[in-house]
Structures are given as C-alpha cells and as structure tokens.
C-alpha cells in the first residue's frame, strides 16, 4: 500500500471521493489485520448475543509470527510496571545490590526532579524510535492523522480524548515514533504526561523518562513550556495531556464517547499562562479496546472506585478484553482500529499573571476547544466510528 494514499478507512471503496483532502496521516502501519475470531468474539461480548459471547474461544496454533510478536509487545507494554517492579524486588533479594538500591530509593523519593524540571534530559530518541513500537502499533492497528501542519515557531498543548482504560493510543502516538509524529509535525518536541506518582516506582521511572514521558503536575507543565526549546522559553515544545483523567476511564465503554470536559479548565489556564496553543485530539476506537462493567448499575462498586480516585489519584475500572491464547477472557486489548485525529490549533494569547486572567477569555477558549472536538467528531464519525451506539457526549 502506498504511503501517500488517502486517509479514508481501509475497506471503503469510495473513501477517496468522500474524505476531505486536508487531513494527512502517518504512513500506514498495517492494514486492518483483524482476525475473524477476535473481531466476532469482541462484538459478541459487547452485545451479549451469540454463542461466541458465552464460551471461551481459543486461538489456533497456526497464527503467524508477526501476529505473535504484536501480541507479545502489547502484553509487555500492558505489564510494564509489573515487570519493572519484579526486577526491582528481585534486585532487593541480592544483598550486594543494597549499597546501590538504598541511595537510589532515597534519591527518587526525596531529591529527584527529573520528571518535573522540564529539562527532558533523560529522553532517548533512540528508544522512542525502536522498531518494536511499530510492531506495537500494528497490533490494533493504530494510525495518526493531522488536520493541518503545526509550525514549530509556537508551543502547544495537545488535549487527548478519550482516556480509555490504558490510553494505548496516546502512548503509540505521543510517547513513541511508531506513528511518525516527528514527520507529521517536524520541529516539535512533544512530551506525553502521566501521574507524578509513576515516577516514584523504582526502575520504571527510568524507562518512562527515557521514553520522554514527564509528570502532569503544574510545575512540570509550566517548566516544559517555558524552558528549553529553540528560544530557551519553550518554543517548538509541546505536551500531551489526557484531559479526562481517571474519572473518564469509568465511562470508557465500547462504541460510546463520553468526555469529562465541561468543568475541566485547568489546561486552558495553563495555555494562557505559557502562551501555548491548544490542539484537540480525538482518538476514535480508544474506548473500544476493552469491555467494562457499567458502574452506574453497581452503586457500591462505583462508590469504591471514586473513593480510590480521591485517595490515590487514579481509579480501578473493572474491565476485561481478550487473553493471550483466547479471544474472550483476559486483560489484553482487542484488536480494534485506533485512529488518532489531531485537530486544528486554537491560538492563545499569553498572560503570565494568573490573577489577571479574564474568566471570559477562559470560557471563550474552552468553547472554541469543545467546538473543534465536535467538528472532528462530525467530520470523521462515519469513517472511524461506524459501529457507534451513541453520539459524542460532553459531561461535567
């Protein structure tokens, strides 16, 4: 398949005539290599109909090496924290390592500022560009699209929607070069943000820093967007924030799109303080990767999830998808397409003094941001959300 082809979804015979020519995407990672067993099992689980939704269907033994590699890479990514914690505890069992581990633990717990300093000193473009990430992206497959080029003479805040369960699309598009972000947006250094608590996990923090991931704390965001870059004040830098956060993961139900956004205005204020333009990003398919128990049908479970969120900053969705060797039970995401569409930038006028930021200007930018998200949905829902059960909904 040509890398210069149209952006329409594979399998659409008339897509070249239907889709606007303005949207550009990264070169194709893979065609929709979706096995019949995996696809029908996922749909059966979602609808609760058919025999495939009532019994475990095992994967055949004659699956090709490419698909096995894709599954292995996604499995390792899903278990990344568990893998690094296992290595850490194994190291703790070796007394000879204690003179190194003890100072290391003290340092990352009390003194390290690598995740918030904005220096991005641990970032490794080599690690971000490894071939393994293209294998990861081809599992779904995932693709990155742009509405228009972004000049590297500005700074940007990418708002990623929706959160989903694990935000696989955000990782593929903005923490790696699997979808060739740097070719679609040349000259822009983008940083995916995550919870600050993740940088207190031994060994895992080094991996996250090397992948160019940073803390989502206010200090971190402001440092990235006001230090470094081509002018020493953040020019050509960008950050990606999953706006809906942990609360939105509870609404990550297949074939729906509920965005927790109405009262989320902190990122708007951040944009005004740093002078960063706002760029909405809509990930079609992110919510389709897992099945989840509907918390509104289980009040006790919902209360427990919200309690965990208040206490720990994250929540625990009760989800499942497929397994490594079966298509019905497990924590592996389904092989469903991910199409991550980057919208048009919303120009922001900088106001450094927090006390002088006009609430009306905040509301105006927020409304423009929501309007651009709605435009993306209306323009591409018939291409990338054909199986939707409802329209996009923006909630508090």
Q: Report the C-alpha gap between 125 and 133 in whole angstroms.
A: 12
Q: Can you tell me the mean pLDDT for 230-240?
A: 95
Q: Can you tell me the mean pLDDT for 137-161?
A: 97
Q: What percent of the chain has pLDDT over 90?
A: 67
311 versus 171: the higher-pLDDT residue is 171
Mean pLDDT lowest among 66-70, 97-101, 314-318, 330-334: 314-318
Asked if residue 298 has pLDDT above 80, the reply is no
CA distances from residue 182 to 13, 27, 152, 216, 281 in whole angstroms, order as listed:
30, 12, 11, 22, 16
Residue 292 has a pLDDT of 85
Q: What is the mean pLDDT of the chain?
A: 86
Element (H, E) at 219: helix 218-226
| pLDDT tens string 83-142 | 999 999 999 999 999 999 999 999 999 999 999 999 998 999 999 999 999 999 999 999
Residue 11 neighbours by CB distance under 10 Å? 8
Listed residue (207, 351, 185) closest to 270, CA to CA: 351
Residue 84 has a pLDDT of 97
Residue 296 has a pLDDT of 65
Asked if residue 32 has pLDDT above 70, the reply is no
Mean pLDDT lowest among 3-12, 18-27, 251-260, 282-291: 3-12
DSSP label of 68: H
CB environment 319-328: b (16+ within 10 A), e (fewer): bbbbbeebbb
CA-CA-CA-CA torsion for 278, 279, 284, 286, nearest 10 degrees? -60
Q: Can you tell me the mean pLDDT for 273-278?
A: 96
CA distances from residue 107 to 80, 151, 210 in whole angstroms, order as listed:
22, 39, 18
233 versus 297: the higher-pLDDT residue is 233
Listed residue (71, 176, 170, 191) closest to 131, CA to CA: 176
Q: Can you tell me the mean pLDDT for 215-244?
A: 95
Residue 294 neighbours by CB distance under 10 Å? 12
Cβ partners under 8 Å of residue 377, min gap 6: 257, 282, 385, 391, 392
Asked if residue 252 has pLDDT above 70, the reply is yes
4 versus 243: the higher-pLDDT residue is 243
Asked if residue 50 has pLDDT above 60, the reply is no
Asked if residue 214 has pLDDT above 50, the reply is yes
250 versus 67: the higher-pLDDT residue is 67
Residue 68 has a pLDDT of 93
Residue 145 has a pLDDT of 97
| pLDDT band for position 304 (cuts 50, 70, 90) | confident
| pLDDT band for position 295 (cuts 50, 70, 90) | low
| pLDDT tens string 328-386 | 888 899 999 999 999 999 999 999 888 888 999 999 999 999 999 999 999 999 999 99
| pLDDT band for position 300 (cuts 50, 70, 90) | confident
Listed residue (328, 238, 244, 232) closest to 286, CA to CA: 244
Residue 216 has a pLDDT of 95
Q: Can you tell me the mean pLDDT for 262-278?
A: 95
| pLDDT band for position 56 (cuts 50, 70, 90) | confident
Q: What percent of the chain has pLDDT over 70?
A: 82
| pLDDT tens string 170-213 | 999 999 999 999 999 999 999 999 999 899 999 999 999 999 99
Residue 134 has a pLDDT of 97
């Amino acid at each position: 398949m040509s890398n210069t082809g149209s952006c329409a979804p594979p399998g659409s015979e008339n897509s070249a005539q239907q889709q606007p020519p303005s949207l550009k995407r990264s070169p194709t990672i893979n065609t929709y290599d979706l096995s019949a067993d995996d696809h029908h099992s996922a749909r059966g689980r979602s609808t609760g109909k058919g025999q495939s939704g009532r019994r475990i269907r095992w994967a055949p033994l004659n699956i090709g090496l490419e698909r096995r590699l894709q599954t292995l890479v996604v499995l390792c990514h899903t278990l990344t924290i568990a893998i690094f914690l296992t290595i850490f505890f194994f190291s703790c069992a070796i007394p000879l390592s204690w003179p190194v581990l003890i100072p290391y633990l003290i340092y990352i717990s009390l003194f390290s500022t690598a995740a918030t300093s904005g220096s991005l000193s641990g970032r490794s473009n080599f690690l971000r560009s490894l071939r393994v990430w293209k294998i990861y992206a081809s599992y779904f497959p995932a693709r990155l699209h742009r509405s228009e080029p972004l000049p590297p003479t500005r700074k940007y805040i990418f708002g990623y929607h929706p959160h989903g369960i694990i935000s696989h699309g955000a990782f593929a598009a903005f923490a790696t070069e699997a979808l060739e972000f740097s070719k679609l947006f040349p000259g822009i250094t983008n940083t995916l943000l995550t919870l600050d608590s993740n940088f207190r996990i031994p060994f895992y923090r080094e991996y996250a820093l090397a992948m160019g991931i940073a803390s989502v704390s206010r200090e971190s965001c402001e440092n990235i967007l006001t230090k470094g870059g081509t002018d020493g004040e953040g020019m050509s830098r960008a950050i990606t924030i999953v706006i809906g956060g942990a609360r939105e993961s509870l609404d990550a139900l297949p074939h729906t799109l509920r965005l927790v956004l109405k009262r989320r205005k902190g990122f708007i204020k951040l944009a005004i303080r740093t002078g960063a333009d706002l760029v909405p990003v809509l990930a079609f398919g992110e919510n389709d990767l897992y099945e989840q128990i509907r918390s509104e049908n289980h009040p006790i479970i919902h209360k427990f999830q919200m309690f965990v969120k208040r206490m720990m900053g994250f929540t625990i969705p009760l989800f499942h998808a497929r397994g490594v060797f079966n298509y019905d039970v497990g924590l592996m995401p389904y092989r469903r397409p991910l199409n991550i569409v980057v919208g048009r930038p919303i120009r922001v006028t900088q106001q450094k003094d927090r006390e002088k930021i006009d609430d009306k200007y905040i509301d105006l930018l927020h409304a423009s941001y929501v309007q651009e998200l709605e435009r993306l949905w209306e323009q591409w829902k018939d291409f990338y959300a054909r199986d939707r059960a409802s329209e996009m909904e923006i909630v508090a």
